[in-house]
Amino acid sequence: MSEDPTVRRSDTGFDRVLAFSLPARHARGRVVRLGPVLETVLSAHSYPPVVKHLLAEALVMTALMGSLLKEEGAQLTIQAQAEGGLVDMMVCDYRDGEVRGYVHFEAEKLAAFADEDVQLDLPALFGTGYLAITFDLAATNKRYQGVVPLEGASLADACEAYFAQSEQVPTLLRISVRSNGDRCMAGGLLVQFLPDGEEGQARLHAQEDHPDWEHIAVLAGSVQREELLDPVLALEELLWRLFHEEDEVRVEPLMLLQRGCRCTIEHYQGILSRFPEDQLADLREGDGMIPVDCAFCSKILRIPI
């Protein structure tokens, strides 16, 4: 297994994604551990513990799936919309190594969980709703979207269902989150089966029974929660533990992650320029500025237009 020579083996790997593949088994994957970037995103709002846990899990998923994109400027967006639960909206996205996200929740309903580090299943969190996963490809200006119900014990379950139903790609996801007051870390592993000669919609659910995939799924599924979160366990070492008996494991360190938010005056001027003048007039305040509240970073910008 190769390793980035610029990264010490004692490096925790926080906010860094490793891409890996097992050529003989037709499998690929990503592994990530979030630390400071995660805390920065979570600090934008005063989230109760249960919402912090949910958003941390979603941001790990976003980093794992978003880092599958290869072209510059491509974006992955994960959006959950629901009713009848504690959370009615959640949005996360990834673009060029930048991740961001926020959750809108019912404060009164969540008051009972404000001081508890609890984990709730998707029906308790969302009631009924859907998870939409969108890939925007900058080079071709094309958009691909898959929608699945918010069902299962976790977001990882719903995401696995997305890959099975929308892309016909057998996928295994493991995500762990640990929080202690304002400190939070999260880690995740994604592994997919991509046999030679099967591209796009030609992939079949039957491939889930392929012996190569069954073998890799067992190995990857053995990863422990503490291994994903262990700050002294390098990501390369984690992959070695899981797959050291394989003939070849190729590892490629990807770009470092950072919190990304596009809440600039120029960005919002571009959006508002599409509005008719009568609507802009209704939005302007006495000084001629239009206030815009960015849900991602909790900033209020005053936009001259």
The reported pLDDT for the residue numbered 135 is 93
> Does residue 287 belong to any structural domain of this protein?
yes
Residues in the chain predicted with pLDDT less than 50, given as ranges, are: 1-10, 197-206
Buried b (16+ CB within 10 A) or exposed e, 163-198: bbeebbbbbbbbbbbbbeeeebbbbbbbbbbbbeee
Q: Tell me whether residue 34 is in a domain.
A: yes
Residues 242 and 276 in one domain: no
Per the structure, the complete domain to which residue 30 belongs is given by 16-259
CA distances (Å), origin 74, targets 78, 163, 177, 256: 14, 19, 27, 16
Judgement on whether residues 247 and 280 belong to the same structural domain of the protein:
no
Give the pLDDT confidence of 124-169 residue by residue, as tens digits: 889 899 999 999 998 888 899 999 999 888 899 999 989 888 888 8
pLDDT tens digits, 59-97: 999 999 999 998 899 999 999 999 988 999 999 999 999
Q: What pLDDT score was predicted for residue 206?
A: 40
Residues 211, 275 share a domain: no
- How far, in Å, CA of 186 to CA of 46, rounded? 18
Q: Residue 263 in contact with residue 296, Cβ under 8 Å?
A: yes
Same domain, 243 and 283: no
Residue 229 and residue 204 share a domain: yes
Which pLDDT value is given to residue 11?
54
> Are 180 and 270 within one domain?
no
Residues 141, 229 share a domain? yes
118 and 51 within one domain: yes
Nearby residues of 181 by Cβ (< 8 Å), 6 or more positions away: none
The three-class DSSP label of residue 211 is: helix
Whether residue 54 is contained in a domain is answered as yes
Assess if residue 1 is contained within a domain.
Answer: no
Same domain, 154 and 242: yes
pLDDT at 201: 38
In a domain, 10, yes or no: no
CATH number at residue 46: 3.55.30.10
Q: Tell me, what amino acid is at 149? A: P
Determine the pLDDT at residue 197. 44
| 275 & 227 share domain | no
Residues 127, 228 within the same domain? yes
63 closest CA partner among 22, 15, 102: 15
Between CA 101 and CA 292 the distance in angstroms is 17
Q: Is residue 7 included in any domain, yes or no?
A: no
> Residue 120: its pLDDT value, please?
75
- What is the number of structural domains in the chain? 2
Q: Can you give the pTM of this predicted structure?
A: 0.85
Residue 108 burial (C-beta neighbours within 10 Å; 0-12, 13-18, 19+): exposed
In a domain, 84, yes or no: yes
242 plus 278 within the same structural domain: no
Residue 6 lies in a domain: no
